[in-house]
Structure 1
Amino acid sequence: MDAHRLLVFQQVARAGSIAGAARALGWTQPAVSQHLRLLERQAGTPLVLRRPRGVVLTEAGTALLRHADAIAARLQAAADDLDALADLRSGTVRVAAFPSASATIVPAAMSALADRHPGIDVRLREAEPADALALLRSGEVDLAVVFAHAGQAAPDEPGLTGVRLADDPLRLVLPASHAPAGGPVDLRSLAGEKWIAGCERCTENLRRTCEAAGFAPDVRHGTDDYVVTQALIARGLGIGLLPRLALDAYTHPDVAVAEAVQAGPRTVRVLHHPEAPQIPAVRQALRVLAEKWPDSPR
């Protein structure tokens, strides 16, 4: 049966007349009568008995009205749900982000979004860029916060679009006893040091940066965890390059942080499918992520 005609029939039944239904709907009486006749033809039986002062439901009409009321209630509930999503009173945003972003800008954005729109549910999954992109492509997340080091090819992203959030500068991290006198440090002066490397892309960037300074780094340790990296450095077991976001999340009290002449920043972006910003909650999450980027230098 045609749901639209069912709703017209509901108005006729509730108003008790075709004229009353026409007034409620803002239609003409002939239009209402035509929809009612077509519905009765579909039902194969009369639904109302016409009387001089209105209509009376037949047994079939009474039975059908229960279903019409249920359909009207479900349609109203659907409209209410859609209004809530459009008005940011509800909605879900799923975000994948690399570890240092997951410890800094993403929680800040999630908190700001919760303050502005308490009904939006933001869910975070920590993932390195390649894994975050895989989650985005599979539809498991709506947004992927990723990075690429200077000179590195961006992760493969055909069919996706994104927004550049900012550059995240890399900092040289040394034991506190090796604190530089001041100003940026030339990595050539550290050619004989032991180094601590990170993820695959970070290790590649470390090697390329040191080679640009004229030497191959002596990599002794490898860890993706910036807390472990700093613990090793604090004990004098090596030095390393860490992004500002990692140091914003945690800085060991026994390390020194300095600028490095040859270390270029990494670029942080948030990627999504082209149609994602049409969803109000996702559009708002993108806006808040851009707002929460830390501007203060470290």
Structure 2
Amino acid sequence: MTADLDPRRLLIFREVARLGSLSAAATTLGWTQPAVGQHMQRLERDVGIPLMLRSVRGITLTEAGTALLAHADALASRLTAAETELRAFASMELGTLSLAAFPSAAAVLVPPALAKLESRAPALEVRLTEAEPPEARALVTAGDADLALIFEHVVSEDRAGEAGGAAGRDGDLVTVPLLEDPLRAVVPVGHRLAGRARPIALGDLADERWVAGCPRCEENLLVTTRAAGFVPDVRHRTDDYVVAQRLVAEGLAVTLLPGLALHAAPGTGVAVLPVRTSPERQVGVLVRAELMQSAAVVAAIEALRVVAEQTAKRLVSLS
């Protein structure tokens, strides 16, 4: 007797036993009777003992066949349960979705997107983790997050992609563009440039003291100001957009802040100015390629796209 039972043959055996004849089982399965008979012969060879007695009236199960039928019924039941559960995942009646997002996106984009997702799939369990892009990418790569909101700094003459453009692939990871997040100069309300209607040149702030943000943001500040012909005098460093604006409001420094941050935490005592060279961040959703077939992931990306489109219109005129 072999230890390996073919599950498919067990299910065919179940149909034969349930219907009482090879011909009836063949009709139900859409097969020929000889094909069903061959499978039953092979099953009996595999187990090494007779499972059914054949007569002109049909088949009668042996004691071993009756015992095996109970296991075949259990197998069919588990398969039905598996199919039902998978359908529930596909319809988002079950499942968990984990999302990582950098702070300003977590404040502006994620809440309304999750509200849209909940209205569509109220049983879906969504979990949010705040993480800067390098950490968020690591979470997606490790499988600890299903998708992540990330950003890349770009300049106007070398854009990474237009908002709402086609997804880009990097190995097993796919990035879906959401929006372009413009960087704005933030100065005290009493600053000499505060009332200017036209975009300023970044070089106009060359002699100022500066507030820098996260390491990646500070690196971008240095690259951007170097292109404008100066090295900024960075006096303060903070990841907190509220702290940065308070330092500016007190006349201690100026800074560059992304539109999402200014939208999330508008400051008082500061003036927001567009910059002529239009530095910006490209915001997108990072996801593993195989999860692009997940109903929950697809629904989440669509909700984020809708919110991002609405938000992008407000960011363009931010001042």
The TM-score bracket by the shorter chain reads 0.7 to 0.9
Q: Distance in 1 between matches of 2:116 and 2:84?
A: 25
How far the C-alpha of 1:3 sits from its partner, in A, is: 0.6
Q: Deviations over 1:138-189 (max 9, x none)?
A: 22223232212225998xx851332222210011223344482142234444
Once residues 31 and 234 of structure 2 are traced to their aligned partners in structure 1, the CA distance between those partners, rounded to angstroms, is: 80
Counterpart position of 1:123: 127
CA contact (8 A) 2:188 2:194 kept: no
- Does residue 237 of the first structure (1) align with residue 252 of the second (2)? yes
Deviation, structure 1 residue 246: 0.8
Deviates more, 1:101-110 or 1:49-58: 49-58
> Out of 173, 179, 190, which is 2:186 matched to?
173
Q: Which residue of 2 aligns with 1:250?
A: 265
- For the residues of structure 1 that align with 2:276 and 2:291, how far apart are their CA atoms? 39
Matched with 2:224 is 209
Distance of 1:24 and 1:140 partners within structure 2? 45
Look up the match of 2:164. Answer: none
CA distance, structure 1, for counterparts of residue 31 and residue 204 of structure 2: 85
Report the counterpart of residue 134 of structure 1 in structure 2.
Answer: 138
Shift of residue 137, structure 1, vs aligned partner: 2.2
Root-mean-square deviation (CA, aligned residues, Å) is 2.6
Q: Conserved in 2, the CA contact under 8 Å of 1:11 and 1:21?
A: yes
1:276 corresponds to: 291
Q: How many Å apart are 1:203 and its aligned residue?
A: 0.9
Q: Does the residue aligned with 2:289 lie in a helix, a strand or coil?
A: coil
With 3-12 and 83-92 compared, the bigger mean Cα shift is at 83-92
Q: Distance in 1 between matches of 2:10 and 2:242?
A: 64
Structure 2 unaligned spans of 5+: 161-168
Letter in 2 for 1:108: P
Is this contact kept in 2: 1:96–1:144, CA < 8 A? yes
Q: Which residue of 2 aligns with 1:5?
A: 9
Matched position secondary structure for 1:172 = strand
The answer to whether the 8 Å contact 2:176/2:285 transfers is yes
Match of 1:164, SS? strand
Q: For 1:125 and 1:153, how far apart are their aligned partners in 2?
A: 28
TM-score calculated relative to the size of structure 2: 0.82
Deviates more, 1:199-208 or 1:209-218: 209-218
Unmatched tracts of structure 1, length 5 or more? none
Is the aligned partner of 1:49 residue 2:53?
Answer: yes
Larger mean Cα displacement after TM superposition, 194-203 or 250-259: 250-259
Q: Which of the numbers 24, 34, 44 marks the counterpart of 1:30? A: 34
Contact 1:94 1:124 in 2 (8 A): yes
Q: Which residue of structure 1 lines up, in the alignment, with residue 149 of structure 2?
A: 145
Deviations 1:29-62 (A, max 9, x none): 3332222222122121111223443332221112
Please state if 1:103 is matched with 2:107.
yes
Contact 2:153 / 2:280 at 8 angstroms: preserved in 1?
A: yes
Q: 1:22 to 1:212 in 2, by over 3 A?
A: closer
Letter in structure 1 aligned against 2:183: L
Measure, in 1, the Cα distance between the counterparts of 2:220 and 2:56: 87
Q: Which amino acid aligns with 1:57?
A: L
Shift of 1:244: 0.6
In structure 2, which of residues 18, 24, 46 is the aligned counterpart of residue 20 of structure 1?
24
Contact kept, 8 Å, 2:202 with 2:225, in 1: the verdict is yes
- CA distance in 2 between partners of 1:39 and 1:169 (Å): 68
For residues 26 and 226 of structure 2, what CA distance do their matches in structure 1 show?
82
Kept in 2, the 8 Å contact 1:209–1:263? The answer is: no
Give the SS at the match of 1:27.
coil
Structure 1 residues 8-17 or 84-93, which shifts more? 84-93
